[in-house]
Amino acid sequence: MPTKVIELTVPQDIVNTRLDVWLAQTLRDASRSYLQKLIKNGKVRCSGQPVTIPRTEVHRGMSVTVELPEAPTEHTPLPEDNFDYEIIYEDPHMLVINKPPGLVVHPAAGNYTGTVVNALLGRYPEMLDEFEDSGGRPGIVHRLDKDTSGCLVIAKTPQAQFALSGAFADRRVSKCYLALTAGIPAKSSGRIETLIGRHPVNRQKMAVVERNGKEAITLYEVLNRGRYNNRAVALLKVNILTGRTHQIRVHLSHLGNPVLGDAVYGGSRGTGAGRQMLHAWKLRIPHPVSGKLMEFTAELAEDMQRVLAETEPAITLPEQPKVVEV
């Protein structure tokens, strides 16, 4: 199997962190257990030396090299009987689920099983034949980061996939997120407009760049303020007008208020949840057949609800209808 070599540099804010934990936080499409196997098999080097112990500590500025086997192009996802996600909406053409945190959307290196796609094929086995030219991503028209929860729309037919993908490409989709940030933004609302591209040192991260990036536009509004673990935090409503990789996380870090729990982009002081407090709250999209504009709302995951409840004063959200025809 062909191998891809990934060169990483441990950021300055990482201190006394296990190698397997840091790699799992950095290479979000690979599971921690898979990365532990790579380490034990001698596929990871720290400062040029092979490391075979997953608990080895990494330190700021350390160079880390990972030999990552690439997925074969002919790889076909296998059906799995584990579809237990909350269904927000379903009809013969599309499905909207509330994706739990910690779940990868489609198979990739290190995650050929246990993804949304695997569970989807277990529930709808006919999709495997209908989407034979999907490149291993049947029904997928957009994605959420592994540790981001919330609204995920899925096409149930190739025709619906074409229509929904077109809506995303033409920016006829409205995406609204909730983010709990470390610190409170200086302005109660704002617009962040930059270029986003690969980080110049850590190629697995994204960053605000001056050139050779893509336009990224984020709108935010502070909904509430409080303190969590004696730290000022804010709950933001965030709308993205573009869909760049890690856009919200990069932009809020650039603002000086990274998403709480986001170890990759500066919000590493945790919540006990082991992930960034970011949730895809609302998604507005035209129906792939009728064209009617529909809005879906995903309830917060339990871990984020707990953090908001433990904030002083406790932060609550008004109850929202799950499905609305706009």
**229-243 residue pLDDT tens:** 999 999 999 999 998
pLDDT in tens, 166-193: 999 888 999 999 999 999 999 999 999 9
- Active-site residue (options: 145, 147, 262, 303): 145
Examine the pLDDT at 18 and tell me if it is beyond 50.
yes
Q: What pLDDT, on the 0 to 100 scale, is given for residue 286?
A: 97
Q: Provide the 10 A C-beta neighbour count for residue 302.
A: 12
- Comparison of pLDDT for 218 and 107, the residue scoring more: 218
Give the span between the Cα atoms of 252 and 261, in whole angstroms: 13
Task: Give ∠ CA 191-194-199 in degrees, rounded to 5.
Answer: 135
The whole-model pTM stands at 0.77
Mean pLDDT of the chain: 90
Domains for the chain: give ranges and CATH numbers: 3-69 (3.10.290.10), 86-173+285-325 (3.30.2350.10), 176-278 (3.30.2350.10)
Kindly give the pairing relationship between strand 189-198 and strand 206-209: antiparallel
Q: How far apart are CA 316 and CA 314, in angstroms?
A: 7
pLDDT digits (tens, 9 = 90+) for 40-77: 888 999 999 999 999 999 988 999 999 876 554 446 78
Which residue spans within the chain are E strands per DSSP?
A: 3-9, 17-18, 44-46, 49-50, 57-58, 63-69, 86-90, 94-99, 149-155, 174-182, 189-198, 206-209, 214-228, 231-240, 278-286, 293-297, 323-325
Instruction: Note if 91 is an active site residue.
Output: no
Q: What is the pLDDT of residue 163?
A: 94
DSSP-derived 3-state class of residue 127? helix
pLDDT at 22 over 50: yes
CB 150 within 8 A of CB 97: no
